Amino acid sequence: MGSHRSVSRRGFLTAVAGTAVTAAAAGTATAQASFDGWMSDVGNYSEVADSTGQDEVTITVGAEANGGNFGFGPAAVQVDPGTTVVWEWNGEGGQHNVVAEEGGDFESELTAEAGFTFEHTFEEATVAKYFCQPHRGLGMKGVVVVGDMPDSGGGDGGGGGGGGSSSAPAIPDSAKSLAVALTSALVSVLALAYFFIRYGGDYGEEFESA
């Protein structure tokens, strides 16, 4: 008779463990750098592409994103100091340009010519945020991380600064997401544990008598 209650307890513990793991995984999945919200409205941004170890990296201008050909591809890339980034126009989406917002000092001309290229060599560690002037409002923005990834979602690169990434104290967006997920999981586990301890015996007796 007692075996019924034992199986129920094991099933309960398995379910609780599954809930905690699922919630933790969800929190980790949302822990993606937003660079102080700069990339929050960029339709083709999912992760920072690792292009370290390369002397030259090419980014497509006019990549499919944001409801048309209004994106940079990849939208975010990590490179080593001394790397030359080449932006190459594919001729789609009308006229585009590349303009530094912060973390660098560069600006290309405005053109729709396929095959047109603009390049900039990043000599020092920084987080360079840039955009296309005509389509900035659509989310045509990008980031070049030069050196190590910043410790926070931002990284104040200034005018091309060096080593700014090490001064950031926390990861606001990802930490909040993970904390919310773990807190929700803990509350669920405690609620289920209380219910099982408080009423589990009664249900077990009803099950056994049946």
What would the mean pLDDT of 84-113 be, rounded to a whole number? 98
Q: What's the CATH superfamily of 49-170?
A: Cupredoxins -  blue copper proteins (2.60.40.420)
pLDDT at 187: 66
- Do the Cβ atoms of 146 and 124 come closer than 8 Å? yes
Is the pLDDT at 104 greater than 50? The verdict is yes
Quick: pLDDT tens for 136-162: 999 999 999 999 988 654 433 333 333
Lowest mean pLDDT among 61-70, 80-89, 156-165, 191-200: 156-165
Please give the share of the chain, as a percent, with pLDDT higher than 70.
58
Listed by start position, the domains of the chain span: 2-30+180-209, 49-170
**Rounded CA separation 166/127 (Å):** 12
Strand order in the sheet with 83-89: 68-73, 56-65, 83-89, 117-122
CA distance 200 to 196: 4
pLDDT digits (tens, 9 = 90+) for 60-72: 999 999 999 999 9
Tell me how far apart the alpha carbons of residues 145 and 127 are, in angstroms, rounded to a whole number.
5
The confidence score (pLDDT) of residue 142 equals: 98
Q: Which of 19-23, 65-69, 84-88, 104-108 has the lowest mean pLDDT?
A: 19-23
